[in-house]
Structure 1
């Protein structure tokens, strides 16, 4: 008995990689005690990958079924970006003439892009985005502390 159908194996790999890459970014946010941490980033990444996989399946079915014009998966992908923008806005707080949570909101947006890349099977792109995201969150943060006032707008209000 097979655990997973062969045609679904690639989808499973894409979702698992989205989960792992989202976890890498989410771990850094969790470690810093940010409101959107490990689970949020993992869920955003697999959600974006899942929506992308569904869009690609619908597109393939519409082409195979001869539907004119065929379904455009870009329409679903573009709504992911808008939806994630709404979610990220919830991470942003304004207090005492300061804005907090911008980096966390941007990291949520970035893991959605990573999830979309995984959903499309663009693994190299997903790895590069994850690596650059971690470099930005960890290395650049340390450079900011060294060279600038630590007023990045991502700490608690």
Structure 2
């Protein structure tokens, strides 16, 4: 039984409370990014952005922990944590690209795809312990999605009113 418990809770380079905080942080920051997409009823909303950020965080944590695993300490085993970042970036970019469609002469889903990509980057940041980067990126995303969207709507309304007066 001790072996099973030891296998369930192995020694980690990052303490368990910190791991829990990082996973929770990825969930919260992913939710902030996905909230605007959910509010606007886009296909990739709150849950999708949370899952992207959480998955990226898990991959980042695994890359840190794998570097410190006893079986990987031998010289012939090479672990490069940057490959995890590249893999997460590629995987999330693939998901984000699936959100982008060209319909009736318009590109749709580009902002949602970019938000998913950012959620992945935020998840990686939190997973690697770069909280400041993750929080600032999330705040910047919030500003772009909520505040700049209001400016964009007002400029669209002004443009429409201007074209209506010409006709």
Same fold (TM over 0.5): yes
SS in 1 for 2:129: coil
Unaligned runs of at least 5 residues, structure 1: 151-157
Q: Which moved more, 1:55-64 or 1:25-34?
A: 55-64
1:125 aligns with 2:139: no
**Matches of residues 3-152 of structure 1 in structure 2 within 5 Å?**
7-61=15-69, 65-68=73-76, 70-148=78-156
SS in 1 for 2:99: coil
Work out the CA distance in 2 between the residues paired with 1:7 and 1:67. 26
Deviating 4+ runs (over 3 angstroms): 147-150
Work out the CA distance in 2 between the residues paired with 1:92 and 1:149. 25
Work out the CA distance in 2 between the residues paired with 1:56 and 1:72. 10
TM-score (norm 1): 0.85
Of the two, which has the highest radius of gyration?
A: 2
Contact 2:66 2:72 survives alignment (8 Å): no
RMSD of equivalent CA atoms: 2.2
Q: Which moved more, 1:41-50 or 1:135-144?
A: 135-144
More helix by share: 2
Query: Per-residue deviation at 1:70?
Result: 3.7
Work out the CA distance in 1 between the residues paired with 2:70 and 2:143. 40
Unaligned runs of at least 5 residues, structure 2: 1-8, 159-167
Work out the CA distance in 2 between the residues paired with 1:41 and 1:50. 14
